Amino acid sequence: MSKTCPKHGEFKDLMATDARFLERIESLFYGRDFRSAEDTHIHKHGTSNIQFGRGAVLTVDLTNRCNMMCNPCFMDANQVGYVHEPTYEDTKAILDRAISFKPRRQIIILFSGGEPTLSPYFLDAVAYAKKVGFYRILAATNGIRYAEDIEFCKAAKEAGQHGVYLQFDGVSEEKNKHRGVGNLFDVKLRAIENLASVGIKVTLVTTIVNTINNDAIGQIVEFAAKNIDKVQTIAFQPVSFTGRDEDVPDDIRTQQRYTLAGMAGDLETQLGGRMKSLQDWFPLSSYSAFTSVMDMLQGADAPWGWSSCNCHPNCGIFTLAVVNRQTGDFKSLFDFFDYEQFMKDVAVITDTARGKKLTMAQLAMAIMRNFHAERAPEGFPVSQIINLFKPSSANSNSDRNDRMKAKTSDDPSDVWRVLCVEGMWFQDLFNYDFRRTEMCVIPYGTQEGEISFCAYNTGVGWRQIIENMHKTAGLAEWYKENGRHAVYAKGKPVPGISKKHSLSLPIVQAILDQHGDEPVKTVSPYLLEEEEEAVV
């Protein structure tokens, strides 16, 4: 991308490391959603307005406080000199506005921050989101609170929390230590254990920084596949230089810049071709063909429409892998299922609109038509693809793996699950594109309406504008009245986190196997400092 400013001159940044990948993804773009409702209470931000669609994920910051000091950080948490913490009434108003205009779609409610679990109203906010009718209620979290307190996990589940977006930068302490917490990988493992034990779905969210952790993203896919009963999705996010990183020097930005094309290429290499960059990835918008047919089946009088994700093709991509839950082996679904043709078939079925029963029959036939059994994993039945895409009510809380489970846990046929791997690339000042902003599917819900994710975190700086308009207190004033919360940084560990877990760590086991004659401590997956102490 090349841009020229009359005052500051020319700016260039990298959009893709493989032109063929970019061309393919853009060619598969499903198209924009409908024009957004003209609602002055929600869309009132000039050139930063979302102009198309309802969105798929409404992000609501509950606080700008955090118990870590990460780099990168979208918001420069703990460093801006004030506390912005919407009241419970503020949060209720944001959620009320989210359902105040039509079409009213089921969207994910993502409570974020800072660290949202620091908010004294976190559980109340979750419960209220459930009360007004949302059923996929998540938290974007570093996992510390969930790792520390199983009772908090139970309370969150009881309040209505469906899942978490868990920050997860790699499958060792080495790949997480740039976050500044001495035992962060142990924290992640304990959080996953606790969350899974109470039935909260886990999505691993990995910020990929070139030269920092891009060399080990395939290990994260392996980890998720080996633990498919506890991890549902991976959301890879190429680094966005916003917040704490907005003043990044040009040479560092060039060195650390990472793209969706680079991610797909690295995964193909690191996974030995099991995810092919020019075959297995599709724009997130392609799934909206299925949204259209489900809305048609439900009819115009349905209380909720299906979620739609018509984001710009340079914003989001995804792939699906079929996982044998007994072995952890996986294979790309799109190796043996023609998804591109299936979406075309679904669009035709929607256009013909022949009634519910016939439409359901046509969908089943389209699945069977595009299923190539000779390339599928041994024993994988077409019925599982039907379960994967099986229509359910927009009010249903089931996800793809719930629908693939056998009726009883001891059923020997209960073998298959699906791992979703996404790539979501948020913008920064250096690659900002208004075409992407106006189609944003991840708006921020704020005290001043809904704003595109990228316009809020970068662009004209809506985060700073709104947080200053509605700041709760200066930092010193806040500390005086409320005290300081714990912050884990500069290698400080989170106390009381056990190293015991039942998760499979394939990369660690591979190291142990390779160095079988050496003492186990010398190949510890934990901090290098621990290894040095073991050697001494």
**pTM to 2 decimal places:** 0.91
pLDDT, mean of residues 278-292: 91
pLDDT, position 229 = 95
pLDDT, position 524 = 30
Which residue spans within 374-493 are E strands per DSSP? Answer: 416-424, 444-446, 449-451, 473-474
pLDDT, position 66 = 93
Task: Select from 93, 92, 67 the least CA-distant residue to 78.
Answer: 67
Confidence check: pLDDT of 507 > 90: no
pLDDT, mean of residues 1-16: 90
pLDDT, mean of residues 292-301: 83
Tell me the three state secondary structure of residue 198. Answer: helix
Cis omega (within 30 of 0) for bond into 72: yes
pLDDT, position 294 = 84
What CA–CA distance (Å, rounded) separates 209 from 253? 10
How much of the chain exceeds pLDDT 70, in percent?
89
For the ranges 26-40, 94-108, 139-153, 514-528, the maximum mean pLDDT occurs at 139-153
pLDDT, position 44 = 84
**Which structural domains are found in the chain, ordered by start?**
2-37+54-323+420-474 (3.20.20.70), 506-535 (no CATH)
What CA–CA distance (Å, rounded) separates 340 from 468? 46
Task: Select from 215, 203, 250, 235 the least CA-distant residue to 317.
Answer: 235
pLDDT, mean of residues 11-26: 94
Confidence check: pLDDT of 303 > 60: yes
Name the more confident of 327 and 39: 327
Range name among 357-371, 390-404, 459-473 with the lowest pLDDT average: 390-404
Beta-bridge partner residues of 59: 110, 444
How much of the chain exceeds pLDDT 90, in percent?
63
Which of the 8 DSSP states describes residue 378?
A: T
pLDDT digits (tens, 9 = 90+) for 90-143: 999 999 999 887 778 889 999 999 999 999 999 999 999 999 999 999 999 999
Q: Band of the pLDDT at 205, cuts 50, 70, 90?
A: very high
Confidence check: pLDDT of 52 > 70: yes
Question: Are the C-beta atoms of residues 203 and 233 closer than 8 Å to each other?
Answer: yes
pLDDT, position 177 = 87
Q: Band of the pLDDT at 70, cuts 50, 70, 90?
A: confident
Task: Select from 107, 116, 109 the least CA-distant residue to 138.
Answer: 109
pLDDT, position 85 = 95
pLDDT, position 397 = 54
- What are 428's two structure tokens? 């920064």
pLDDT digits (tens, 9 = 90+) for 407-464: 666 677 789 999 999 999 999 988 999 999 999 999 999 999 999 999 998 867 899 8
Confidence check: pLDDT of 398 > 70: no
What's the chain's average pLDDT?
87
Helices H / strands E in the chain, number of each: 20, 16
Confidence check: pLDDT of 523 > 60: no
